[in-house]
Amino acid sequence: MLLDADVVVVGAGMCGLYALKVLRDQGLRVLVLEKGSGVGGTWFWNRYPGARCDIPSMEYSFGFDPELEQDWEWTEHFASQPEIERYLNHLADRYDLRRDIRLSTGVTAMTFDEDTDTWVFDTETGEQFRARFAVMATGGLSAPYRPAWPGMDTFAGRIVQTSLWPEEPVELEGKRIGIVGTGSSGVQAIPELAKVADHLTVFQRTAAFTWPSQNQPLSDDAQAAIKARYRELRAEQYASFTGTAGTTGAVIFAVPTDDRRILDSTHEERVDAIEEHGFSACRIWSDTATDLDANAMAVELFHEMVRRTVKDPEVADSLLPRGYPLGCKRPVLDAGYFETFNLDHVSLVDLRKDPIQEVTATGIRTEHQFIELDVLVLATGFDAMTGALTRIDVRGRDGRLLRDDWVGGPRTYLGIGIVGYPNMFVCVGPGSPGVLATYPTQIELQVGWISEFVRYLVEHDYTRVEADLAAQDTWGEHVNEVARGTMFTAESCNSWYLGANIEGKPRVFLPYVGGLPNYMARCNEVAAQGYEGFVLS
């Protein structure tokens, strides 16, 4: 039987690029199939104005090659999308990865051939590929969600989605722009769109907790100081809960170190906290992550900062995040977000009070008004962590379909293996830290683990590996157990971590919240026990 590769990696984002490098270094034949016309994954698709990472760039980068670390120059504390896309392209060139990457070759279906223990990949180009192993580097936030309001097809202007932003420039200068969505993408795009729009209308359903990023150019001295201790820094990252060592000046990363409880605080202490920490005053207390009353008090401090920043009291009131606890959703970092609402040509439509009814040829009609638009920007998020996998027809053993198997929520062993889907490894999947830990750091560890597993299988002549049902169930229970009692799973929390943004998606907490070191310790234990919980044949 002719194989096109030993391993097919689906996706050429950070995970796919690294998987290609390490698996090829092991002497395996690797083929990467990528939907986009360029490499970079998230950093290829999300090229909207203002797109920027919110992890310090010196940390949001790979540590496997000390020479690469020393050679690459970052220009800002938090790198912009173009800079990260350049970095990932540099990796593709530096390690000669492109010769094994097929661009514009999205995988539409995958079928496990039980007679030969191989996977067959169908692609949108009509080509078919066969390999022994599949590595799903499909990303955690890569399946865009697009709402469907009545009349959307009739809009005569341009509709652009932040997560599918075109490579050619979008005409925005002097336009009447509307943007729907105030998560990380919307909050980043809004101040930038305001700089060029004739008028910007922000359609907001849920107000965001967002903090000033305090981004700034990275001085040569600061960069040299970090480069001088890069090994130490990486060790700190690998040992950190979120894969982040905190090389930034942003107060948001200052985790409370003492036992400062907001429930025991005086009014004066809370006022002092606002004076000293501004928007981050709500983040310095030790009891807000576990106590809803403490959390509500902290939210008050955030509200106070919004009221102080936004001049129009009615607009400020609409911008106050309400109805869900602080820390239940992914924190957002911004650059002048709230201040943008003080500009005369920026207006806010509070969709809770004035919902969208329809899109027409010339704009958006809400219950109480009609807003004329030339451009409509959708910053409406993703079918997170599972969408990229369930949108592919993944057919495993006995003809089962992954989309059907996961109808009640995803089930994985260590986020990597799935019962019924032999020889398939998921990268940063549901049940792994995934979106909760810095990607390059986590990818090095997790893909490193997967590649060692593949080495073991090849060396021992195993042709089939599959997660065991009991092991998968036990892991699933553990993932749920550690999330229980945290703000992530509070009853009032409706986040994409829980799939709550997608109609019909079961409410299941998707990532593993036990921290990267605990996760890797368990993975390494499994490996040390001869890959306990996997059935090898």
- 42 vs 390, beta carbon nearer ligand N01: 42
CB of 360 to ligand N01, least distance (A): 17
Stretch of residues binding ligand N01 (CB under 6 A), selected from 26-34, 224-232, 277-285, 380-388: 380-388
Instruction: State the CB neighbour count (10 A cutoff) for residue 205.
Output: 14
CB of 14 to ligand N01, least distance (A): 13
145: tokens are 């969600």
CB of 135 to ligand N01, least distance (A): 22
- 7 vs 349, beta carbon nearer ligand N01: 349
Stretch of residues binding ligand N01 (CB under 6 A), selected from 123-131, 150-158, 337-345, 378-386: 378-386
Q: Rounded distance, CA 341 to CA 335, Å?
A: 13
Q: Rounded distance, CA 201 to CA 15, Å?
A: 36
- 181 vs 363, beta carbon nearer ligand N01: 181
Q: Rounded distance, CA 514 to CA 529, Å?
A: 21
Strand 370-372 relative to strand 375-378, pairing:
unpaired
Please report, as residue ranges, which positions from 482 to 521 form the binding site for ligand N01 (by CB under 6 A): 496, 501
**Single residue of 89, 118, 188, 340 touching ligand N01 by CB under 6 A:** 188
DSSP H helices, 148-266, are 184-196, 220-228, 230-239
Instruction: Say which residue the tokens 């480069």 belong to.
Output: 227
Please enumerate in sequence order all residues whose Cβ is within 8 A of that of 301, keeping only pairs 6 or more positions apart, or say none.
Answer: 270, 273, 274, 281, 282
CB of 501 to ligand N01, least distance (A): 5
**Single residue of 138, 201, 318, 380 touching ligand N01 by CB under 6 A:** 380
Instruction: Say which residue the tokens 């049902």 belong to.
Output: 469
- 497 vs 531, beta carbon nearer ligand N01: 497
Stretch of residues binding ligand N01 (CB under 6 A), selected from 174-182, 190-198, 390-398, 526-534: 174-182
**Single residue of 184, 244, 288, 432 touching ligand N01 by CB under 6 A:** 184
Nearest to 32 by CA among 104, 84, 118, 115: 104
Stretch of residues binding ligand N01 (CB under 6 A), selected from 49-57, 131-139, 170-178, 507-515: 49-57
Say whether residue 325 binds ligand N01 (CB under 6 A): no
**Single residue of 80, 105, 118, 182 touching ligand N01 by CB under 6 A:** 182
- 218 vs 333, beta carbon nearer ligand N01: 333
Residue nearest to ligand N01 (CB): 183
Stretch of residues binding ligand N01 (CB under 6 A), selected from 65-73, 113-121, 185-193, 254-262: 185-193
**Single residue of 36, 183, 243, 433 touching ligand N01 by CB under 6 A:** 183
- 319 vs 333, beta carbon nearer ligand N01: 333
* R_g of the chain, CA atoms, integer Å: 24
**Length of the chain counted residue by residue:** 537
Q: What share of the chain is helix, strand, coil (3-state, %, to 5)?
A: 35, 20, 45
162 contacts 185 by C-beta, under 8 angstroms: yes
Nearest to 480 by CA among 504, 509, 460: 509
181 contacts 193 by C-beta, under 8 angstroms: no
CB of 59 to ligand N01, least distance (A): 13
Please report, as residue ranges, which positions from 331 to 360 form the binding site for ligand N01 (by CB under 6 A): 333, 351
Please enumerate in sequence order all residues whose Cβ is within 8 A of that of 325, keeping only pairs 6 or more positions apart, or say none.
Answer: 292, 295, 296, 299, 487, 490, 492, 493
Say whether residue 54 binds ligand N01 (CB under 6 A): yes
CA distances from 86 to 73, 224, 496 (A): 11, 21, 29
Site track for ligand N01 across 117-146, x = CB under 6 A: ------------------------x-----
Site track for ligand N01 across 198-237, x = CB under 6 A: -------xx-------------------------------
Beta bridge partners of 430: 432
Please enumerate in sequence order all residues whose Cβ is within 8 A of that of 136, keeping only pairs 6 or more positions apart, or say none.
Answer: 10, 11, 389, 424, 425, 426, 427, 429
Total residues in contact with ligand N01, by rule CB under 6 A: 25
Say whether residue 41 binds ligand N01 (CB under 6 A): no
Stretch of residues binding ligand N01 (CB under 6 A), selected from 119-127, 184-192, 279-287, 446-454: 184-192
CB of 330 to ligand N01, least distance (A): 3
Beta bridge partners of 413: 417
DSSP letter, residue 429: -
Query: Which amino acid is it at 173?
Result: E
Q: Rounded distance, CA 438 to CA 433, Å?
A: 9
- 206 vs 214, beta carbon nearer ligand N01: 206
Helix (H) or strand (E) holding 463: none
Applying CB under 6 A, the residues found at the interface with ligand N01 are 52-54, 141, 147, 180-186, 188, 205-206, 330, 333, 351, 379-382, 435, 496, 501
